[in-house]
Structure 1
Amino acid sequence: MGKTFSRPKAMSDNHTHYCPGCTHGIVHRLVAEVIDELDIRDRTVGIAPVGCAVLAYNYFNCDFQEAAHGRAPAMATGIKRVRPDLMVFTYQGDGDLASIGMGEIMHAANRGEKFTVIFINNAIYGMTGGQMAPTTMPDQWATTSPKGRDTAKTGMPLRMANILSQLVTPAYITRQTVLKPQQVNKTKKAIKQAFQYQLEDKCFSLVEVISTCPTNWGMTPLDALKWAEEKLLPYYELGDYKVPE
């Protein structure tokens, strides 16, 4: 019997630094599988964020850059404009993209920069200790909201796919998740579509992925999956929010 499952060539064999139950590793693998299937590894450049995925460059066998906090879209813009033949993607968390990087992602999308964004939304700051993020749910506990997020003082969580889809510039904006196997398959299809649009020099693309953070949520991995399904998915509705005409 032949081998039916193996490590993608675009993924390194380094041991992960992510916490048990963290879904970053799943999304890393999906990106690596897509890079292999499209045969673009030799001309792909990834950009790591500041956050839990700051060490993303350790897990991919392709060129990688490290951006200052929130500035990955600016770096991606520069690389893609200088070398439009390259396949450029940013990998960003919600603190990196939706907080300090809000201006960068909004203007990159509005300009229609032709790179791909993989956006991990786990509703909390991970690496820095579990502080409230722009995506933290109402009444959700965080180290900076020990009584739960008070929306009367902080506003409602930002739904980035919804916001970016309102821009006039044509783009591919979708929200998916990796909580269940069938959802993992849909997320991979979305990531592949996003890279395909870049191959066709068509548009800016962003794939938002609803994820878990068991450590900073104070839950077991299984409880985190359940909580995400019950609390996050009703608010962060899955599906395509914008597709190019």
Structure 2
Amino acid sequence: MRIALLGYGRMGKSIESIALERHHTITLKATSNTTVFDFSNTDVAIDFSLPSTAISNIKKALDAGIPIISGTTGWLEDYDTIVDYCSSKNGTFLYASNFSLGVNIFFEINNKLSQLMAKVDGYTTQIEEIHHTKKLDAPSGTAITLAEQIIGNSDYKNWTLGEAQKDEIHIEAKRIPEVPGTHEITYNSKIDSINIKHTAHNRQGFALGAVIAAEWIANKKGVFTMRDVLNIG
């Protein structure tokens, strides 16, 4: 498979390494300074760029008729616009806040646990996420996904980084050098606590998941998620 990398930072380089190990070819290594995007010999594009360039990158790939996978976070207020744009181009688009296979299983556990906890009184919910100091957005896209799952299954109305009201989930976003990513959900009551936690040991899991998604999406049309890739639900 011929892959264009839109964003060539640490994640882009990790994806390149795994893609080459899996006998794929890298056709483009675009950075924020790239002005010419040649997709003529490309089968799929993977975007791990910046929030300020992600939308432009996605549209460029869709304009060229190239399936595009994005793991860039911090631009999701425009997600529906991109979905509509993809549909207008009869294109192929997959976004995930986290491509780690383990995290996507963690999402399923979180969804089920939040359904169970919604039936029990006396618990408050909070989320803690820890990432490296070079991560630009806070909270992480993964933490937002976790919070939105809980909100969808409960009486919570919103999440906040500040002091939480009764109908809000507090997200604590920490930035510590060289931490790939840790997410923990805690349900606290006066008598006990319930915790679920995912800890990434390195970036390889994120990169592998992105490459697997690129392999899966070949010859498909539409808008997809990692649940489709993993055949969950």
After TM superposition, the score normalised by the length of structure 1 is 0.36
Select the structure of larger CA radius of gyration.
2
Q: Structure 2 length as normaliser, TM-score?
A: 0.38
